[in-house]
Amino acid sequence: MERTYIEKLLNKLNNEYGFNLKFGENFKMAFSHSSYTNEKKIAKHLNYERLEFLGDAVVELTTSEFLFKKFPKLAEGELTKLRASIVCEKTLVKYALQLNLDKCIYLGRGEEKMGGRSRAALLADIFESFTGALYLETNLETVKIFLNNTLFTEVEDYEYSSFVDYKTILQEYVFKIKLGEIEYKVLDSIGPSHSKTFISAVEIDGKQYGSGTAATKKESEQLSAKQALDKLGYDGI
């Protein structure tokens, strides 16, 4: 059954992106959990973990290159934070499920009964092991096409602010230029309890530098921090 799902996955990628992927040992290994290899008395090194090791490096490299080119003015620290926001368990699991990678996993009977197929950490690892197998079976350019249509769709210009922690950037910048203490204040909250809008402001050494309006207090503070950075002439973003 697992092979059938793997073949469906490969055919889907072939049809959508013009790949020429075929089921083979690397793709089987990418989905073979240690509980399966132990149960079937298959050599320990033939489970998914070695390919996950490789795939992790491939994903980090391609993501780093993608962000480096997409955001040419972004500082190293912000690039690192953005990469960590993309290559995280939550995002990897999201695309593992979208691709039905959970159905492709070879599991031992005990691990299956314990719900291993839906375990987030395993799904994130399997996304990376599949990427490692894809790299070995094809090349880096093919991996980039695959990630451009999966993982990298998380990063659009209009979504960029959701990845950036402006409050932390402001804190670090204000400390660097020795401007004073930062304080966030909620100026107002409008609307019913289930649908409030928050208006926040950020003060530095008692002077207001920015304000923001959003559906959550946290996001309104982030927007006020962004406005403060703009007012201060910060050009790291």
Q: CB count, 10 Å around CB of 165?
A: 15
CA distance 235 to 50: 41
State the virtual CA torsion across 77, 79, 83, 84 in degrees, nearest 10: 20
Q: Known catalytic residues?
A: 56, 128
Residues 6 or more apart in contact with residue 20 via CB below 8 angstroms: 14
Name which of 50, 69, 68, 67 is nearest 135 in CA terms.
50
Do the annotations mark residue 125 as ligand-binding? yes
Do the annotations mark residue 128 as ligand-binding? yes
How many Cα atoms within 13 Å fall on the side-chain side of residue 232? Answer: 30
Do the annotations mark residue 156 as ligand-binding? no
CA distance 213 to 18: 45
CA distance 162 to 212: 14
> Binding site: what residues are annotated?
52, 125, 128
